[in-house]
């Protein structure tokens, strides 16, 4: 897994996503950006980096334009890199899901690996009458490079990805 460096060169592939941090971002020790040349599929992935020991807090990406309602869904994505010596990531599918609290994805790795990449997946339900509008993925631990790729939310019985990934 390569050591990440900040670049703004591939921002067009970040379309549909937002950054959310409670730490001060910079271009050397705390950042999130789109990389080129290290990906599970295609050419790009997103990397989160937080190595500033003077700042504790989270670094994450969000998609806030979702409209997911009534049903069972599978959230999956591929991860490469480490957080505090472990591959670990937190997700929050949204405030109105049956299990809308933060979920520790480390416990639901699928066991499927390809090179440096490991697939993570979890199922969540959206109660009748509710709509999930937000997906947040990130870490609250230090990481020298947590790479994310091929993020998807698919409703049971369908194959359509409801998450926008790049342009």
pLDDT tens per residue across span 100-142:
555 555 546 677 888 899 888 888 888 787 777 778 888 777 7
Question: Reduced to 3 states, what is the DSSP secondary structure of residue 14?
Answer: helix
Collapse the DSSP code of 18 into the 3-class scheme (helix H, G, I; strand E, B; otherwise coil) and give the result: strand
103 forms beta bridges with: 91
Q: Assign 45 a pLDDT band (cuts: 50, 70, 90).
A: very high
Q: What is the largest CA-CA distance in the chain?
A: 47
Statement: residue 43 has pLDDT above 60: yes
Please give the pLDDT value at position 85: 56
The CA dihedral of 80, 82, 87, 90, to the nearest 10 degrees, is -100
CA-CA-CA-CA torsion sign (163, 165, 166, 167): negative
**What average pLDDT does this structure show over 71-81?**
89
pTM of the shown model: 0.84
Report the Cα 85 to chain-centroid distance in Å.
Answer: 18
Residue with the larger pLDDT of the pair 69 and 20: 69
| 103 or 19, which is more confident | 19
**In the structure encoding, which two tokens stand for residue 8, read together?**
């703004």
| CA distances in angstroms from 123 to 93, 105, 139, 153, 155, listed in the order given | 10, 11, 20, 9, 10
Mean pLDDT of 135-154: 85
The residue count of the chain comes to 167
The pLDDT of residue 98 is 47
Residues 6+ apart with CB under 8 A from 144: 3, 4, 49, 51, 81, 82
Whole-number pLDDT of residue 139: 77
Higher pLDDT, 60 or 84: 60
């Amino acid at each position: 897994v390569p050591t990440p460096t900040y670049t703004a060169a591939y921002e067009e592939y970040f379309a549909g996503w937002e950054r959310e941090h409670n730490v001060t971002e910079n271009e050397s020790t705390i950042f999130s950006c789109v990389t080129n040349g290290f990906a599970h599929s295609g050419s790009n992935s997103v990397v989160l980096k937080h190595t500033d020991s003077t700042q504790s807090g989270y670094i994450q990406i969000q998609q806030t334009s979702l409209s997911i309602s009534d049903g069972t869904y599978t959230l999956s994505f591929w991860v490469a890199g480490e957080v505090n010596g472990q591959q670990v990531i937190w997700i929050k599918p949204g405030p109105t899901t049956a299990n809308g609290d933060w979920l520790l994805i480390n416990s639901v790795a699928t066991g499927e690996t390809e090179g440096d990449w490991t697939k993570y997946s979890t199922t969540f339900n959206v109660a009748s009458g509710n709509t999930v509008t937000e997906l947040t993925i990130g870490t609250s631990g230090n990481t020298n490079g947590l790479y994310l790729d091929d993020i998807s939310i698919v409703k049971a019985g369908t194959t359509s990805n409801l998450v926008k990934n790049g342009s």
